[in-house]
Amino acid sequence: MRIGELSRRTGLSVDVLRAWERRFGLFKPQRSTSGYRLYSERDERITHDVVALKAQGVPLAKAVALARDTPAQAPTAQVLIARIDQAVRGLDPDAARRAVRASSEALGVEAAMVTVYLPYLRLLGQQWLDGAVTVAHEHFISHIIRKHIGTLAQDPHPGGRRTAVVACPAGERHDIALLMIATLLTRRGWSVRYLGGDTPLEAITSTAARTRADLVVLAVTRPEILEAAVPAARQLAQSTHVAVGGPGASIELAEQIGATLLVANPVHSVLRLDELVPASRERLKAQGAAS
């Protein structure tokens, strides 16, 4: 693939990819007959690994070294997706659990979310539209992926950190991407209150107030759900940082609320929130100074 396609697949800008290539020799692209650099699936995997390691707090130079030294025979995302797909079509729970677990073991938690779980769920949705699978297959694997991600969110840290409330507003039940964000926040040291799908805004607001939340994350797949929540979410945004994401979120709705619009990649979203959202003490101090 050319560098533009590598950029699209990884979510990193062309400038960043070129800088990593110059600084670290991260890639060894071949040349097309027209002289264009061509990058491989291994280059894509290495890039995702670097992003995932950085998300875990590994310095960039060390992340590059670790990603580059990953054995070449490690399964690619495409192979791992194929294994899950085969298990799901056979409705084989043991094989599905093994395939889901193997993805995070082979690629790391963050890369597995971005390159295996979410792409596979999109593939499954297309298969359902094509009539190749039924809603039973979607429920079957969603439960397994949700349970696996939940086990990765165990919080080993003490209290006294930034707090996030993470939920889908009333009417929204698709929560796997939201659960990924909750898990990634936890792994970065946040204290997360995960409320899940179909949660009334009143309950989200009261939970945010009781926990003095530094952040509230709302995820929707349909714009009308977020449109109905705009008045309450706008009021909530006056006291805490609000972020919205999912196919139903847009820059227009985010601006109406006064919220941060999240990108489709949950790893990049969490990295951005980790930089944008200050701790409660800093936020309250800033609000006091502004008043």
Domain ends where: 103, 125, 151? 151
pTM: 0.71
Which of 11, 35, 68 is the endpoint of a domain? 68
Tens digit of each residue's pLDDT (9 = 90 or more) over 10-50: 778 899 999 999 998 888 888 888 888 899 888 887 887 78
**C-alpha triplet 145, 151, 153: angle, nearest 5°:** 105
Residue 16: CATH number of its domain = 1.10.1660.10
**What pLDDT shows up at residue 161?**
79
In this structure, the answer to whether residues 34 and 113 fall within a common structural domain is: no
**Parts of the chain with a pLDDT under 50:** 158, 281, 291
**Structure confidence at residue 178 (pLDDT):** 94
Is residue 156 situated within a structural domain?
A: no
Q: Can you give the pLDDT at residue 41?
A: 82
Domain of 118 in residue numbering reads as 77-151
> Total domain count for the chain?
3
State whether residue 11 is helix, strand or coil: coil
Residue 207 lies in a domain: yes
Q: What is the pLDDT of residue 283?
A: 52
* Residues 6+ away with beta carbon under 8 Å from 238: 258
Strand 37-38 with 30-31, pairing: antiparallel
Q: What is the pLDDT of residue 47?
A: 86
SS3 242: strand
